[in-house]
Every structure is written in structure tokens, then in C-alpha cells.
Chains A and B, each alone.
Chain A
Amino acid sequence: MKQSTFSLARLLVLVSLAVVLALFYAIWTHSTDPGNLSIIFLTALLVAVFFSDARKMPALTPRKVFYSLAYILFLIKEIIKSNFDVARRVIQPVMPINPGIVPVKTKLKSPIGRMILANSITLTPGTLTVDVRGDHFYIHWIDVTDGDEQGATQAIVSGFEKYLEVIFG
């Protein structure tokens, strides 16, 4: 056995994965009985041990957990803000739209980090990731304020990237 198999970091990742799985199951089934819950947790732990790949998992550090929570709050704030923005555009008699597809550049390297970035951009109304080619995302933007690559990157991506760089960096 390799030494890394039993490291504390791996154990932490496994246990937190099992907790999340067990929580999902417990919420769906409304389980509150302690005996029931412990069986759910043991099963979840078994699933986590057999089906997780520790090499592909980012190591859990308090800093990353904190940034993940901050990222979720930031994303909710952005979604609410831009929903109001798009709603305002829809109800005006002459719709103030200025649409176009702009390229932006991402600094993120990890595939899952990029996926989360592209999905966050799409989830935020007003911007929609149309394609990904290499380092560049092509984004349909409902109000192009800056067609320049750097300006668009600054306006759309950098807010999300600040958090994702720490989480997946």
C-alpha cells in the first residue's frame, strides 16, 4: 500500500463526501431515527471509499472551504442583481439591449474549475457562454459595454475568478 492511501487529508475528503451523500439521502427520506441515520452514514462511507478517486480530489483546507462559501454567496448576489437588470430591460418600451459575442480569457487551469466558471457565467442572466476554445470563452453578452478582450474579461470573469483561483488553484 502506498503511504498516501491512508493520509489524513484523504480521510477528511472521504468523510466529508460521505456526510454530503448521507445528508442528501436523509433529507429526501425525512429520516430522523438515530439507528437509521447511522446505517445511512455507514453506507455513504462505503460508497465514498469505493467510488471516489482521491487523486482527482482537491485537498480540503479551511481557506478553500471559506472561499467556497463566500463564492456561493457572491454567486447568489450576482444572480439576483443581474436578474433585476434583465427584467428592467425586458419591460422597457424600447429595449435597451446591445448584444454581441465577446471573447474572454481565463486564467484557470483545472477542468472542473473552468466548468464551474463557465456555468456560473451562464447562470448569471445577461451573459451566456456559447463556446469554449482553449483559454478563451466566447460569451453572448446582452449589453456589450466593452468589446475589447481585456475589458470584457475584467467585467465578466474576474469577479468569479478571484474565488475560483483559490478553490481550484
Chain B
Amino acid sequence: MFPAPVARASRLSRMGYRAALFLSLALWLLPLAGVALTSVRSIDDLTRGNLWGWPSETRLVENYAAVFSDSRMAQFILNSVLITLPAVAGAVALACMAGFALAKFRFRGNLLLFVIFIAGNLVPFQILMIPVRDIAIETGIYDTRWALILFHVAFQTGFCTLFMRNFIKQLPDAMLDAARIEGSSELGIFWHIVLPLVRPAIAAIAALTFTFVWNDYFWSLVLVQSDDVRPLTAGLQSLRGMWLASWNLISAGSIIAAIPPVLLFLLMQQHFIAGLTAGAESD
């Protein structure tokens, strides 16, 4: 193990390590803590300049209630959910299918397709922006949730396919051949054997994709414009113009926007990290 385990060191250095852990973590999350603290402050505190001290009065309920009553935050959250969940489901479903095909079938162009999926996922969004918006306008889905859902499914499928393909490739061929001899069709193998075995990979990729789509800002600016369909990230930025110096409300809004991905991350930590670091260990 590198560096040398602290557990074997003296009592003093163990305590020192713990203290250093605590301090560095506090420093690392300082900006976040400042925002969390501000989100429960009164506007009086802000104008008086009490930013780091304890709030003179805790306005947790009032501030967060104000965010929902003064703005269309509830609508933004609903929009984000209605965009993110179908997009994740779609991308994961398509990636499982495409991943199985690329991992377990030999055909000409297999590797080329794989490379295209990876490369397409690394392109800068700006090169897609104008044509994708035009497609959305011409097909009448511009400024609807469908524009964002379809685009995210298409784009995220690239990364998800890369991930699923590598995972499915590790399944032993002998197992699939055994099923073939039993008389199972290829689609039957996919449904009854491959899918149940790749559940952990599906969890990992779903958690990651959820975070990517939920946190997207660029496409929310490009593909929608009305508050009825705008997701949380774009909604939050538009509220900034309305609230100007009400940093306590903006902070509360930021915290609200951060909660779903953070919760998901905490619930699915192992899967999430496995997904993030897939490339780092498979070498």
C-alpha cells in the first residue's frame, strides 16, 4: 500500500492525520458551506454584511418556501425530472442493445462503429448546436421537452455504449454458446442472459447519465426557451436576473438544484464511482 498506512504509525501521527483530514475537508467544502449557510439567512444579515457568522435568525423554512412561491422552481424541477428520467432510460436501453451487438458479434465495421461512438461523444457541443436546433425547429419539437430528451438520448448513447460494450465483452462466450445449443434465439440470449448479468453496469451508467443530463446547461439554453419546459439549470440562471441581490434565495435555489444529483450519488456511490473510473482500472 502506498503511501505507508497511517494505522501502523504512532498514536500521535494518527491523530495528526485525522485532524488534517478534517481541516482539508472543511477547506475543500468551504464555498459550499458558505452557500448553505447563506440560504438560511435573512436579507438583513446580507445587507449588514454578516456572511460568515451564525445567522441572526434562521430562515430555513421561509427562504426555501419563498423560492417556491416567488418563482416557478417547482415547474423547473418537474421539467428536469421529466427530461432526465426518459433520457436516461432511453440512452441506457439503446446502449445495452448496441453494446451487446458490438461486444459479442463479429461483422465488418464493428470496430469502426465503436470508434465513431467514442469520438462522437468527445466532440465540442458547439459543432452540433446550429444544426441540432434547426432539426428541432423543423420537426416542431423546439421548445418542448422532447427536443432535450431526444438529443440527450442520442448523445449519451455514445458514452453508454462504450461502457456497456466493455462490460458485456467480459461475459464468457461459453455461456452464450450453451444457451444457443439449448435453442435460445439471439434476442432471447440478450433478454434472459445478458441483461440480468449486466445489472450492476446498468446501475452505474444510469447514475452517471442522470447526473450528466440533470446538470446540463448548454442544451437547455439552445433547445428550449419558455419557463414551461425549461429545466432547473437554465431556470436558476434566469432567476438570478430577477432576484439580483437576494443572494439568500439564489443560494437556496442552488442548494435545491444540487440535492438530486448529490442524493443519487450518495445512494449509488459504489456504482457511480465504478462508472466514473471504468477506464482507469480496465487497462
Q: Is this pair of chains taken from one and the same complex?
A: no
**What residues of chain A have their CB less than 8 Å away from a CB belonging to chain B?**
none
